[in-house]
Amino acid sequence: MERFDRIKVPSAYEMVAEAIEAEIVSGRLRPGDEIGTEAALVRQFGVNRSTVREGIRVLEQGGLVRREASRKLFVCEPRAGGLSTRISRALVLQDVTFRELFDTAMVLEVGSVEGAVVHADADMLAALEDNQERLEAAVNNPVVVAELDSEFHALLARACGNRVLEMAREPAALLFFPSTEMICRRVPEGAGRMAQAHRFIIDAVRARDLQLSRTWMRRHLVDWRKGFVRAGREIDEPVERIFARYALSKSQS
Amino acid sequence: MERFDRIKVPSAYEMVAEAIEAEIVSGRLRPGDEIGTEAALVRQFGVNRSTVREGIRVLEQGGLVRREASRKLFVCEPRAGGLSTRISRALVLQDVTFRELFDTAMVLEVGSVEGAVVHADADMLAALEDNQERLEAAVNNPVVVAELDSEFHALLARACGNRVLEMAREPAALLFFPSTEMICRRVPEGAGRMAQAHRFIIDAVRARDLQLSRTWMRRHLVDWRKGFVRAGREIDEPVERIFARYALSKSQS
DNA sequence: AAAGGAGGCTTTGTCGGACAAAAGGCTATT
DNA sequence: AATAGCCTTTTGTCCGACAAAGCCTCCTTT
């Protein structure tokens, strides 16, 4: 047990990043504001442009700042910001299993539908109905079905009006739902059952029936799991790296 | 509705970052491996050192690579890696409310204790007991109580053996539990009730009693919320920025 | 006079080279 | 053998430069 921590001398580029970050976190710079040109930052901070640029890379990667088409620097909406993608990637590198994804989805998606039951408004219900309509029209197209299933669950989370929950479920969802495509390919009746479950979930949300919404969400997820196994996959196998790269590249666009 | 997306010409530093990232994601570079010196990368990629350095900043910030005390570059264990912190920051910038945090914690912590009931082993129970012992010894010290409460919930999540869930709960936890300190300061009996709830939760986990664990976790969280309100805070107020910065700086060490 | 294009200015992305400070390794001294 | 001092490597920072791409302004053309 050491008495003192290692002393970390901050480097100039870190200080540049922190100075700008502090302005954003404090609210003095708001999303949409311009940061200024590199030359301007060089003047203000009194450091070299290379140093400023390294600082900018840090902020950009942190999702605080965006550069539109290699032009001006904006403070950006801290939303999506690729952070979920990066967490997903970290999970893949840790070789998490489908069981872990499934158990987590069970917790988060059920929580999500409960929130939707309480908070969903007419617009959200309309969006869900629209999704359902497109799903029923595309039951024979695995790619579209997978996309629409993913969208369905994202809509439910959005309907909660809970941005914390919405963000918490995203990394798992990013890894979880893409395999729906694989399942639909190998289990012919999968898409139909999914459409049916979605139907019941939407109805439960509309009727504000907590118990029913839970039941059908659980059934829906258990179905997913059964399909996964019937498609010949092992629930305890790790999410594969190749697969994850596919999910990753798709979500970054 | 446009037919084509904007074409994005990748810049050299992005390609450097992607090339190294690809090696890591594919598994050809494993955590702990060295990346090589900047000069070596300059040779291999045939670009300028400034360019290489910008690429390294991107990777570093992405949590794939770490530089130990301004020395060699390692591929790092992809866990936590400050990503949770950054999500927390994004949530704060979105002015999420305590209600959102609370509702999410309700979902995730209950899910977490359920997992613990199923999967906790003797070591984890010992760790929980140890935490409990320290908590009971420190009921009069709000700072320590808050830390131990946070640790308690982190231990439960760890006990699930579900890294996805563990990571999903972290951003909310980072914002949620620090206010325990404030509550304990203003609500004298708070720490005692907390210790009691923890006691029951641990016992339920040991007894593998799902129902009881749920009940006490809910009670524990509802207590937190009551304390929050009794401490004079409004459940629908946004998590403040100053507070968040405190939580943030603490977690980065 | 309005639309469109040409040129000039600004800004980014990249390059080459340079140097001080820190970290690591090696040697010589005690 | 332990330690102190020196040398080498590597990082962090700086300077200056230039091509390409966006942006702006002004001029030409219809």
Burial of B41 by CB count in 10 Å (0-12 exposed, 13-18 middle, 19+ buried)?
A: buried
Q: Does B58 sit within 8 Å of A62, measured CB to CB?
A: no
Average pLDDT of the segment spanning B12-40: 88
Decide if pLDDT at B82 tops 80. no
Q: Does A107 sit within 8 Å of B94, measured CB to CB?
A: no
- pLDDT tens by residue, A6-15: 777 788 999 9
| b/e burial code for range A164-182 (CB count within 10 A of at least 16 → b) | bbbbbbbbbbbbbbbbbbb
Q: Output the average pLDDT for chain A.
A: 86
Three-state secondary-structure class, residue B225:
helix
Decide if pLDDT at B201 tops 70. yes
- pLDDT tens by residue, B31-73: 888 888 999 999 999 999 999 999 999 998 888 888 876 578 8
Q: The tokens 């050299």 sit on which residue?
A: B12
Q: Which residue of B has its CA nearest to A165?
A: B104
Decide if pLDDT at A242 tops 90. no
Average pLDDT of the segment spanning A182-186: 83
ipTM: 0.82
Q: Does A62 touch chain B (CB under 8 A)?
A: yes
> How would you classify the pairing of strands B65-67 and B73-75?
antiparallel
Mutate: best of B14, B106, B164, partner A, most A CBs <10 A = B164
Decide if pLDDT at B218 tops 80. yes
pLDDT band of residue A197 (cuts 50, 70, 90) is: very high
Any idea which of A110-114, A191-195, B85-89, B155-159 has the lowest mean pLDDT?
Answer: B85-89
Any idea which of A107-121, A201-215, B78-92 has the lowest mean pLDDT?
Answer: B78-92
Higher pLDDT, A127 or B180: A127
Distance CA B163, CA A215 (A): 26
- Give residue A3's pLDDT: 63
* CATH numbers and ranges of domains, chain B: 12-75 (1.10.10.10), 83-251 (1.20.120.530)
pLDDT band of residue B251 (cuts 50, 70, 90) is: very low
Higher pLDDT, B53 or A36: B53
Dihedral sign (CA B108, B85, B162, A238): positive
Average pLDDT of the segment spanning B122-136: 93
Average pLDDT of the segment spanning A126-152: 91
Which pair of tokens denotes residue B45? 């990629």
Higher pLDDT, B179 or A210: A210
- Give residue B17's pLDDT: 93
Average pLDDT of the segment spanning B128-143: 90
Decide if pLDDT at B247 tops 80. no
- Give residue A144's pLDDT: 87
Percent of chain B residues topping a pLDDT of 90 = 48
Q: Does B13 touch chain A (CB under 8 A)?
A: yes
pLDDT band of residue A80 (cuts 50, 70, 90) is: low
Q: What are phi and psi of A65, to 5 degrees?
A: -140, 145
Distance CA B47, CA B41 (A): 8
Q: Does A159 touch chain B (CB under 8 A)?
A: no
- pLDDT tens by residue, B226-239: 988 888 888 888 88
Q: Does A62 sit within 8 Å of B86, measured CB to CB?
A: yes
Q: The tokens 């504000």 sit on which residue?
A: A208
Any idea which of A182-191, A211-220, B112-121 has the lowest mean pLDDT?
Answer: A182-191
User: Chain B residues with CB inside 8 Å of A92's CB?
Assistant: 25
